Amino acid sequence: MRIFVVWSPVLMTDWGRPSTATLARVSDARAAQFWDRGRLISHSMGEQNRRGVVWDYIAVYSPGAIWKDRPPEALYHGGPVVRVTDAARAALAQALQETQHSRFQMRLEEGNDAAAGVLRPNRMSESRFHHFVTIQP
Amino acid sequence: MRQKSFLAAILSLAFVGALVSFYSGGQVPSGQAPLQSLTPQNLTEIKNSFNAAKNDVRVLLLLSPT
């Protein structure tokens, strides 16, 4: 899992970059934090005027989602963050579970392929044997 | 008079400290990459980081510092 935290000036009191105490609110080492003074991300997500500012917002993306001109369609998105923590947590748990399941399936398929590779010589020889028996008479 | 000067000095220092704190920005917690300022020129960096982790679940948070 990766976390992207984008701090933007929205309120009257947002005079500058986030302080150490503010940045410490997200202490997870998997997080990358950004200061978006021009609210570029919000603009890319549709901010046209003051009412359209995208902030106090959380989005969960499943594996495979690609950011092109704007962030991709989210598996879950909502806000204000404090009111949607349960829903966001549930979406995150679901996404992580699906990822682990699909990775397990991939490993299982890789395992099956490896097993097939080991067995193939025997199958080949058996096939050749049948072919030999068939053409001999 | 002396007290007023002392108070003015304290307030000035506090004001300068606040300005430095607000405009220099803070330090991120240990283990994280330094805080990066987004500009139209480097906006692709967050996009590239996001896409580089395409095999993982990702969370995007848009927040206000205060």
Instruction: Read off the pLDDT of residues A52-86 as tens digits, 9 standing for 90 and up.
Output: 999 999 999 999 999 999 999 999 999 999 999 99
Kindly tell me if the per-residue pLDDT of A128 is higher than 50: no
Closest-approach residue (CA) in chain A for B55: A63
Average pLDDT on B45-64 reads 96
Contact B63, A56 (CB under 8 A): yes
A contacts of B39 (beta carbons < 8 Å): 38, 40
Nearest CA to A5 out of B23, B43, B36 is that of B36
Q: Inter-chain contact B25–A35, Cβ cutoff 8 Å?
A: yes
Chain B residues within 8 A (CB-CB) of chain A?
21-33, 35-40, 43, 46-47, 49-51, 53-66
Task: Write down the mean pLDDT value for chain A.
Answer: 83
Q: Inter-chain contact B64–A10, Cβ cutoff 8 Å?
A: yes
Chain position carrying tokens 């050749």:
A128
Q: In this structure, what DSSP letter does residue A37 have? A: T
> A94 exposed, middle or buried (CB, 10 Å; 0-12, 13-18, 19+)?
middle
Q: What is the pTM of this model?
A: 0.75
Kindly tell me if the per-residue pLDDT of A89 is higher than 90: yes
Strand partners, A3: A31, B59
A contacts of B46 (beta carbons < 8 Å): 4, 6, 32, 34, 41
pLDDT of residue A90: 95
Q: How many CA atoms lie within 13 A of B30 on its CB side?
A: 0
B contacts of A90 (beta carbons < 8 Å): none
Of A29, A31, A40, the CB nearest to B43: A40
A contacts of B26 (beta carbons < 8 Å): 17-24
Average pLDDT on A10-39 reads 94
Contact A45, B46 (CB under 8 A): no
Q: Which of A57-71, A109-123, B5-19 shows the lowest per-residue confidence on average (mean pLDDT)?
A: A109-123
